[in-house]
Structures are given as structure tokens and as C-alpha cells.
Amino acid sequence: MRKGEALALTWSDINFEDNEIRINKHFHVKKDSKLFVNIAKNRKSRIIKMDSSTMEILRDWRIRQTHENTFLGYSTSSPKQLVFNNEYNTFNQPTKTRKWIVQIQKKNNLDKITTHGLRHTYCSLLFEAGATIPEVQERLGHDDVQTTMNIYTHITKKAKENTIQKFTDYLDKLEDDIE
């Protein structure tokens, strides 16, 4: 997801039964510094399948969020309850994710990366895992396949090393077919 899509998620967008997240809105900051929620980027909703581990983390987060918000005097029972709310039970500022990442990087002595950089990394790992271009395009919500190809196909060191092996395996298979 894009940062604005993740920060606009409500619990009604999470389908725990089918392990799916519906991305149907995003928010951004207007010129006057006010947050503005809009329909999904490119005006298209999408549903992405999630793994069970991530869904379990979301379940645990929902329980923790309910306890924390109740303690602060906020109800979280509304279907429009944000998944990632701030201490006032409203939208987090987009800069908040950067602050979280910097804290984690410093604490764990990690290389620097931006929130959007994590999206790029995810895309690269999808390709490395064997996902097709249309699958990645759909998952990332790109209208144009060229966007997926131009911006997100970062080839990792492992993928570069595997390229020659793929070619060698192909030649070996051809040789076996000839014999």
C-alpha cells in the first residue's frame, strides 16, 4: 500500500475471514496543511490478499488499540475507526511513519530507508519471489504496467546472481532435449 492508503484504512476495510484488505481511499495533506480523505488513488479500489501472520498481527493490534483508546476515553466501535489512529483517535500525520522508521533504524543500527522505499523493496521482493508483472501491478494499484516496470523493478543482488544460473539451466535443458 501507499502510505496514504495505509493511514486511511478503517477496520471495515479489513476482512479477517478471507484474509483481505480493501484499499478504497487515501489521504493527503492539502496546501493549508489539513488532511483530506479521497477515494482510492487512480479512482480504483482494490482488494489484496494477505498472509495469515499479518492478519494475526492486525487482530492483535485491534485488541491493543481498543484497550488504549478506551483508556484515553475514545470508542473504537465505529466501522469507520481508523486502523492507524493517533493519540486523539484521528488521522496520523504522514510524517509520523518516517519518525517511526528512524527510531527503529537507530535502535537496531539499520540502513536508512523511507516509508516509500519499503514499498519499492516489497515490489522488488515480489519479483524475486516469482510474481508476474500483472500480479505486481494489481497488488500495487498501478493503472499502467509501465509504471510498475519503470519505477519498481529494482533487481536485487540475489536476482542478478540468479540470472546466469537461469541461463545455464536453460542451456542444460536444451542440451538434454537434443540428446
Report yes or no: 14 and 83 within 8 Å, Cβ to Cβ.
Answer: yes
Average pLDDT over every residue of 82-88: 93
- Whether residue 28 has pLDDT greater than 80: no
The whole-chain average pLDDT of the chain stands at: 86
Nearest-angstrom CA–CA distance, 9 and 164: 42
- Whether residue 34 has pLDDT greater than 80: no
Structural domain 1-94, CATH architecture: Orthogonal Bundle (1.10)
Nearest-angstrom CA–CA distance, 157 and 168: 18
Question: What is the percentage of the chain residues whose pLDDT exceeds 90?
Answer: 42
Average pLDDT over every residue of 23-39: 75
Q: What is the DSSP letter of 111?
A: P
Confidence band of 179 (pLDDT split at 50, 70, 90) = confident
Nearest-angstrom CA–CA distance, 24 and 8: 9
Show me where the domains of the chain are located: 1-94, 113-179
Question: Which pLDDT does position 166 carry in this prediction?
Answer: 82
Q: What is the DSSP letter of 32?
A: T
Strands (E), 30-155: 35-39, 46-49
Which of residues 153 and 64 earns the better pLDDT score? 64
Confidence band of 47 (pLDDT split at 50, 70, 90) = very high
Question: Which pLDDT does position 151 carry in this prediction?
Answer: 65
Q: What is the DSSP letter of 11?
A: G
Q: Is 58 helix (H, G, I), strand (E, B) or coil?
A: helix
Average pLDDT over every residue of 91-107: 91
Radius of gyration, CA atoms only, the chain: 20
Residue 67 phi, psi (nearest 5): -65, -45
